[in-house]
Amino acid sequence: MIRKAKVSDAVAIVSLIQEYAQRGLLLPRSLNSVYEHIRDFWVYEEGGRVVGCVALQVVWEDLAEIRSLAVKEDLQGKGIGTKLVKVCLEEALSLGIRRVFTLTYANEFFKALGFEEIDKTKLPHKVWGDCVNCVKFPNCDEVALIIDLEKINQEAVSTIESSRK
């Protein structure tokens, strides 16, 4: 079940993120940071425990970032990550946000969801606020990907309209 995160999920979210941060695959998040941004998070709950998380952080009037996507390793490949990303994209649309980006090592996963690779320099400087705290800064090797939800939405409408004919 996917739902908005609650304050009581913060410790589980940090634990999940840490599994990947220790391997250099995600930026670590402190418990304080997760509490401060708890409204950005979605969780996937199974059997009463949080087994996946993701955050959608609004960056600008038409831009948001998908961050901290993590799924318990033994549950990967079951569509949990895909569902978490899709709920973020739906939330972005409901907020009127047109573009959503991510910085990731899982670029093929995001490309399969319609994201396209872009040069990191095309992202606004505001995006790099967390990067200065990363051990890999300034030599970031993550890939930047973006999706234009307006374009995707128009394609979905066109597909529906053509299927009615």
Largest CA distance in the chain: 55
The rounded distance, in Å, linking the Cα atoms of 66 and 84 is: 10
Domain ranges of the chain: 2-160
Q: H helices of 71-130, where? A: 80-95, 107-112
pTM of the model: 0.85
- Tens of pLDDT, residues 83-134: 999 999 999 999 999 999 999 988 899 999 999 999 877 776 655 556 555 5
Instruction: Establish how many alpha carbons lie within 13 A of residue 71's alpha carbon, considering only the half-sphere containing its beta carbon.
Output: 16
Q: How many residues does the chain have?
A: 165
- Tens of pLDDT, residues 10-29: 999 999 999 999 998 888 89
CATH architecture for the domain at 2-160: 3-Layer(aba) Sandwich (3.40)
CA distances from 45 to 4, 37, 83, 106, 153 (A): 10, 19, 12, 22, 28
